[in-house]
Amino acid sequence: MHPRCTPEQRQRGASTLLVALVLMTALTIVTLSVARTQLAEQRMANNHHWHTRLFLLADSGLAKGSQLLEESFHDLNWHSDPERDNGVARMMLAEDMSDINTELVFKRKDPSATFVLVQTASGHKDGSGLSARVSQLVRPLSVLSPLGESAPPLVVNCLEPTTAPLDVRPINADLDQAGDAVWLNRDQQCPPMPGVDTHRGSITKRALSADLWSTMFSITRGAFAAMAQEQIDLPVHERTYRVAQGDDLTAGRWGQSIGTPRHPVVLYFPAEAGCPGFGPGVQICGVVFIDADCNNPIASQTFELHGSLMINGNLNAADTPLRLNHIQVVDDRQTRLRFPILRNIAVPGSWSDF
């Protein structure tokens, strides 16, 4: 026979079972809590990993956007956005990743805007909503400075009185909001200029430095000469940068018509070449920069320029029939001189991660 348990023994057994159950319950709760914490930490780590990855891809897309602005700024497919009153160009970047989308967006206020906002957004395709976005405001720069891009048809220290009609058509010529027709150096005491037809444009005195090149161009003369040398073997119609050499002139005169409204040129006459003359019927689209005073007539017959004539000195037009027009006169879509983008300058303080 088995001995019977006394009431005291039964009470101790019940107490032991209760303690064991409490301990097991507490252990289960602690285990579940630890597991839950580990799961949350794993999710946080996974989200952090994805955010870092997406941010790096978005940042890489920003660099690609800046490169695209340099290589094909004028070829971007811009669309108007009436709600925001600006121009937008969008494209998807191929990342060779099936689980990530990266969109690159360019924004500018209007076609003549000097600044472009570059935005990239990378997102995870799993529906989690994880994404990273970066943006940067940049200033695309060509050979011309921002001031040079908006130059009027004539930029000169002083213009001597002329006996022949000097026809200068600025942007929006003959309209009430016509722009500047001539810029003069305000540090020079210039005589009055009768005989200049500015077509409602203004003759404005500006703070032009003693060296006009440094005001109108974003690169040095040496850098420009190197760029022109790189293009010397290209067909004439494909060259954008020209430095006039001795054999380019016939009896001191330039006789070629160069440039088009869609492919303007920069023609530079260095100081050692002096101020040239231009042959009969010559037409140039772009910028002509003369690094010397022009004390003698620069043409015996009509010389026509669409763009800007910049003279690092004075101009004595005398009886020269000059027709100087803003580039808009031949292409009403152009509000400034446009040349290939050489580089982008990031606007300080405009970078953001949003």
Together in a domain, 318 and 186: yes
Domain total in the chain = 2
Together in a domain, 17 and 68: yes
pLDDT reported for residue 297: 81
pTM of the model: 0.76
pLDDT reported for residue 19: 79
Task: Look at residue 337 and tell me if it is in a domain.
Answer: no
252-256 CB contacts, 8 Å cutoff, 24+ apart? 252/276, 252/277, 253/277, 253/278, 253/279, 254/278, 254/279, 254/282, 255/279, 255/282, 256/282
Q: Which residues of the chain have pLDDT under 70?
A: 1-5, 7-10, 82-86, 94-97, 111-112, 162-164, 194, 354
Together in a domain, 204 and 88: no
Together in a domain, 157 and 305: yes
For 107-156, the pLDDT digits (tens) are 888 766 778 999 999 988 877 788 889 999 998 899 999 899 999 999 99
Q: Give yes or no for a contact between 177 and 200, defined as CB atoms under 8 angstroms apart.
A: no
Domain housing 235: 146-329
pLDDT reported for residue 49: 83
284 Cβ contact list (under 8 Å, min separation 6): 257, 258, 259, 265, 267, 304, 305, 306, 307
pLDDT reported for residue 135: 92
Together in a domain, 98 and 172: no
pLDDT reported for residue 191: 77
32 Cβ contact list (under 8 Å, min separation 6): none
Together in a domain, 151 and 254: yes
DSSP state, residue 162: -
Together in a domain, 249 and 229: yes
For 254-299, the pLDDT digits (tens) are 999 999 998 999 999 999 988 999 998 899 999 999 999 998 888 8
